[in-house]
């Protein structure tokens, strides 16, 4: 006798209008063709199947997050792993995968747990703090351990990272930029401070004694200081900034729905991860991914000439009713999805450039959120203000004030 699986309950509480539960989304989901040609000849991809096909295809290369400006930096003999393609990229991913495996994350857990306890303790002592500040401290310290940014001359690594992100490029590839090429970004005072106060001391420390982190690995491969700085900017900001925002978004959902919060706090790890993945599906931190077509392509039945820019709308792809179902805009942890479709859909990307730190991001978010939300008297004082960061093409949640204790 077989037992039918318990169907997922959809939705968990009234998070928004009947067809739109996202708390961060700026525009309603696209209602039209899966692929459209917009201004400047940019092909905008809205459907999950078409976007996943582009990410898994071989006829495209990275085009977002300043990747097309990197080629103009003379001291970069190697492309950063975020931007590299082909065998160079595959080799680098294989060599660095050990820092992000479930086994590696298990090794980080005691450090993450101690840090989470300290942060929640700070909140308990003060009584009231910004949750987005706490999530930033968590994300920065965890990423710093993995990357190797642990020898800073003075405190304030999180401020220096955010200064780079907030002062970065503000337009999509191919559009007129206000900040110039990457040489200009690297010459900015904020990036210079990041190098002198954080990256260079870490490099010097690891030249004296290698450790089990990314900077040590890069030194073993003969990377120069500029190449290591660039990897720290890409790996570091990707791991720090995106995780910070997701923790705030997840807490906003969980604090706004007592039933969902109880399901999360008292659930198994599998059940908690299902909730976090479903929130991430609705609230992808990076809402747009870019690829440049290197050959003629057909995407979603549309002809795309070589050299064209493809803008993959993750927010739209993640609520594609053809894949997720008619209630795609609602929060439904553990929902049934087609075979091979991950629960967060494209929120971590897909293909060979899929986010390498995906498992770490969910694990550290879970460790912190469970310790935070177990406090029954935790309450929201002021909900966050939602703005948009053009550098990472994602939302920012600021001023998320919470209170612990009476």
pTM score of the predicted model:
0.89
Most confident among 20-29, 161-170, 176-185 (mean pLDDT)? 20-29
> Contact at 8 Å (CB) between 147 and 218?
no
List the single range of 102-106, 171-175, 240-244 with lowest mean pLDDT: 171-175
* More confidently predicted of 245 and 189: 245
Least confident of 81-85, 237-241, 360-364: 81-85
pLDDT score for 88: 66
Name the range with the highest mean pLDDT among 60-64, 68-72, 248-252. Answer: 248-252
Cβ–Cβ < 8 Å for 220, 135? no
Between these two residues, 360 and 183, which has the higher pLDDT value? 360
Integer angstrom CA distances of residue 15 from 26, 317, 324, 396: 15, 20, 18, 19
Least confident of 14-23, 56-65, 217-226, 337-346: 14-23
pLDDT on residue 280: 97
What pLDDT sits at residue 84? 57
Inter-CA distances, 6 with 9, 44, 140, 341, Å: 9, 38, 39, 20
Residues 16-34, mean pLDDT to the nearest whole number: 79
DSSP-derived secondary structure letter, 6: P
Q: What integer best gives the mean pLDDT of the chain?
A: 85
For residues 332, 335, 337, 339, the Cα torsion angle rounded to the nearest 10 degrees is 140
In this prediction, residues 192-216 reach a mean pLDDT of 94
The model's confidence at residue 22, banded by pLDDT at 50, 70 and 90, is: very high
Q: What does R_g of the chain's alpha carbons equal in angstroms? A: 21
Question: pLDDT (tens digit, 9 = 90+) per residue, 166-197?
Answer: 755 555 666 655 545 544 545 467 778 889 99
Roughly how many angstroms between the first and final C-alpha of the chain, as a whole number? 53
Q: φ, ψ for residue 172 (rounded to 5)? A: -80, 160
d(CA 21, CA 259): 16
Is the CA virtual torsion 171, 176, 178, 179 positive or negative? positive
pLDDT of residue 83: 57
- What's the mean pLDDT in 331-336? 91
Q: Is the pLDDT of residue 113 over 60?
A: yes
| Residue 372: per-residue pLDDT | 97
* H/E run at residue 275: helix 269-282
- Closest C-alpha among 327, 324, 333 to residue 268: 333
Burial category of 321 from C-beta neighbours within 10 Å (exposed 0-12, middle 13-18, buried 19 and up): middle
pLDDT for residue 265: 96
Asked if residue 1 has pLDDT above 60, the reply is no
Q: How far is CA 103 from CA 99, 107, 109, 366, in A?
A: 9, 7, 10, 16
Q: Which band of pLDDT confidence, cut at 50, 70 and 90, is reported for residue 17?
A: very low
Q: Tell me which residue of 36, 97, 21 sits closest to 282, measured CA to CA.
A: 21
Pairing of strands 43-45, 309-313: parallel
Choosing among 3.10.129.10, 1.10.630.10, 3.40.800.10, 3.40.50.1110, the CATH entry for 35-404 is 1.10.630.10
Please state, in angstroms and rounded to a whole number, the distance separating the CA atoms of residues 147 and 202: 10
pLDDT in tens, 277-292: 999 999 999 999 999 9
Q: Helical H runs in 167-236?
A: 182-187, 189-194, 200-208, 214-220, 225-231
Lowest mean pLDDT among 91-105, 222-236, 332-346: 91-105
The sheet with strand 378-382 has its strands ordered as 128-130, 401-404, 378-382
């Amino acid at each position: 006798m077989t037992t039918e699986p318990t169907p997922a309950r959809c939705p968990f509480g009234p998070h928004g209008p009947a067809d739109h539960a996202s708390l961060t989304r700026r525009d309603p989901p696209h209602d039209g063709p899966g692929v459209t040609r917009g201004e400047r000849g940019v092909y905008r991809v809205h459907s999950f199947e078409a976007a996943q096909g582009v990410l898994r295809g071989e006829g495209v290369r990275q085009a977002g997050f300043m990747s097309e400006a990197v080629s103009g930096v003379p001291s970069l003999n190697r492309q950063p792993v975020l931007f590299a393609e082909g065998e160079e990229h595959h080799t680098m991913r294989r060599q660095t995968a050990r820092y992000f495996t479930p086994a590696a994350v298990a090794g980080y857990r005691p450090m993450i747990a101690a840090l989470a306890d300290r942060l929640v303790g700070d909140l308990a002592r003060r009584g009231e703090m910004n949750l987005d500040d706490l999530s930033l401290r968590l994300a920065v310290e965890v990423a710093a351990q993995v990357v190797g940014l642990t020898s800073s001359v003075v405190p304030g690594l999180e401020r220096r990272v955010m200064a780079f992100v907030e002062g970065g490029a503000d337009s999509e590839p191919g559009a007129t930029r206000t900040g110039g090429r990457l040489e200009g970004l690297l010459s900015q005072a904020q990036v210079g401070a990041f190098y002198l106060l954080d990256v260079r001391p870490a490099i010097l420390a690891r030249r004296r004694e290698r450790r089990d982190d990314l900077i040590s690995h890069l030194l073993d491969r003969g990377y120069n200081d500029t190449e290591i700085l660039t990897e720290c900017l890409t790996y570091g900001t990707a791991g720090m900034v995106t995780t910070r925002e997701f923790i705030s978004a997840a807490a906003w959902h969980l604090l706004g729905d007592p039933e969902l919060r109880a399901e999360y706090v008292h659930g198994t790890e599998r059940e908690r991860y299902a909730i976090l993945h479903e929130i991430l599906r609705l609230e992808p931190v990076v809402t747009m991914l870019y690829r440049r077509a290197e050959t003629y392509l057909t995407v979603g039945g549309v002809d795309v000439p070589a050299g064209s820019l493809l803008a993959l709308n993750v927010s739209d792809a993640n609520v594609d009713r053809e894949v997720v179902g008619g209630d795609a805009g609602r929060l439904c942890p553990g929902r049934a999805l087609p075979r091979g479709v991950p629960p967060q859909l494209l929120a971590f990307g897909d293909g060979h450039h899929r986010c390498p730190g995906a498992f770490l991001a969910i694990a550290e978010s879970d460790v912190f959120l469970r310790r935070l939300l177990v406090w029954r008297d935790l309450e929201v004082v002021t909900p966050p203000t939602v703005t948009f960061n053009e550098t990472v093409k994602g939302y920012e949640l600021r001023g998320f004030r919470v209170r612990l204790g009476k």
